[in-house]
Structure 1
Amino acid sequence: MRKFLALALIATLALSTLGAAFAEEGKPYKIGMLPQFIGENYFDGCRAGAESAAKDFGVNFVYDGPNQSEATNAKQVEILTGWMAAGDFDAFIVSPCDSEGILPTLYAAQEMGIAVITFDSDTPDMNARTFFVNQAPADALAEAMVTIVAEDLAKHGFGEGVGARLAMISSSGLDQNANAWALAVKNYCAANFPWITVNTDETGYLGPDIWTPGSDESAAQAAANETIALSGDAKDGSEINAIIGLSSMATPALAAAWNATVGQKPVVSITGLATPMALVDYILDEENPMKYGVLWDVNDLGYLSVESTVAYLDGTIEPVAGNTFESSLGTKQFAIGVFGGLDLLLGDALIFGADTVEDYDY
């Protein structure tokens, strides 16, 4: 069915365009960047970096995405289809909402000669894009987040012989990166802190203690409220002892849910992925258990996504595992990612606490 849809889309759009070839000599490249959603500070930070790169490299840059409340594959496909019908785009840079559902459209774009690069979130089909601009290795993010909660749990009497229960608030369950991060967290706990248990199904990234509210803020807040309500310092597994947020909505929602708890507030360790600006008030609040946040430089993620796409269109980089790209941001490495696709690595995880959280403008 997907193959049929892809072929139908190709046939329809081929009537209005002969295919987007790379930019003609002397004509700037036209590149479209499609985030999962717009109007939120994480992707706003990516946009700022991408626009800076577009200016530096003379790119005709188009940025669009669904509203946060409408962050669906259907909305993303609608935008991409419109760009494809225009017939003048050289490349798409995409963060998929549904890593599998978007595949027919990405294939259709490639059939038209449009280069496809993913950023922020990948697709499981390595042939649906040329490479993925990976913000940070999943193992590095897992190490940072698990170490933060493990150290805090130890302060509350957990450790070898006294097990702790860890929950996570992920994305939609269809987000390739969030699934990889959840699996990496579970595996890092098993290898380094076996006294921390994550209750999942056989996938390792879904299950009883993995909430998947998607990108809707109200749903993420509801998931945070529920996990905080189930949390406490019981050492028999009856309560959740630590929670990690795996999205830019879920992590601040956890801190807000703890603040909003009426009566005695639970003893719980929390951290996760979010921008410093989203967590600054909670981290600086001495009472709130959100002491550290983890992320990456979102401005640099946007910048590298556009810069590497231009280099690919120019033919000045060869995206092969082991090769390097001499970016304006420093030397970046191509490597095989956790699901077997080709990644261009931005860098290491960024950890920020009370002493550094105010140093960032995103």
Structure 2
Amino acid sequence: MTTQMKSTNGPTLDDVEFARGYIDDVVCNDDEVIVQGWMLHPEQEFTDLRLYLDGELVGTGSTASRPDLAKVFPWIPHAAQSGVYVRLKRPTPARSVGRVDLVGCQASKPIARMSVRYRTDLGTAVPTPSSDLMFRVAHTRNDRSFKIWGLKCYGDFLEYFDHHGGLNQAHRLLDWGCGCGRLTAHFIAAPNGPEVYGCDVDSEAVAWCEAHLQPGRFKTIDPFPPTPYQEGFFHRAIGYSVFTHLTREVQIEWLKEVRRILAPGGIFVATVHGESAASFDFPGRVGAVLVDGIHDGIQDETLGGIVPKGYYRGTFQTQEYTRRVWGQFFDILEYKVRGIGNHQDVVVMQRPA
């Protein structure tokens, strides 16, 4: 969905760069809209906020005090004033599904945004995994937070598919690294979408998806290729927070495999920890950490006992590295900083015809 900013002369919300931040809750009912969380631009402070509901400007607000974020991000002077609590009266009856956009401005100029889909029936629209499964993929045991963030990231991925041919003509979509279906559930719940498949190294999560996310089709895969899918089987694929945990060598193996199972002309949308993410983990040291273009030396034990020791990493890489190396396997159509979840960079790729 490309949304016009009605209060400006031309630009769209999609033209505004992404903020860094997190949406804790979104409540939409017949009377009001409530958005809670935090958002900031690393280099520019917001003087005011604008809230758009389904493309319509419904009000303005200001940032709130968040002293906890000043402690987490002490190198960002305005982090202490990056809280979001916006509560506005609705001018029209609520839709059951839609999109909220929060735009941070400086002297009325749009600087950065956060976007999130909403569903008034979110609590019952998709099933709830066990707390252990939720924690394994999202580091939360709160089912509402898990579902809000899954729906938000699902909406983020939809933006890129909308930019590059949409999903209507795609017969099969793969969620590579689906976990317990945080995003997969929303692709399955969407009307008139493609057949949805998911695969993951976590057999417990895959078993849960098979039992609760019908008519999706799921498989447990090994940490290394190949997968059991036929060549050219999928028309669309996503990989959310998967490459962010792989060494450079394993990334290349999986790029080759996804290219194999994607149809010629098919679209693959995946995320990486780019320079922006690195700046929050290595403040003031990004250039040194990413001197080789990629840093994959941090071991992550989240999937201990599921994948071989040392396999799962915290990986960061420059946009230049991603374009240069990944461009050997795919045509790079688009790269957006903080483009998924307002943290990870997004890479939109196409298998050459």
TM-score class, shorter-chain normalisation, is under 0.3
Higher relative contact order structure (alpha carbons within 8 Å, sequence separation ≥ 6): 1
- If you compute each CA radius of gyration, which structure gives the higher value, 1 or 2? 1
- TM-score when normalising by structure 2: 0.27
Specify which structure has the higher proportion of helix.
Answer: 1
- TM-score when normalising by structure 1: 0.26
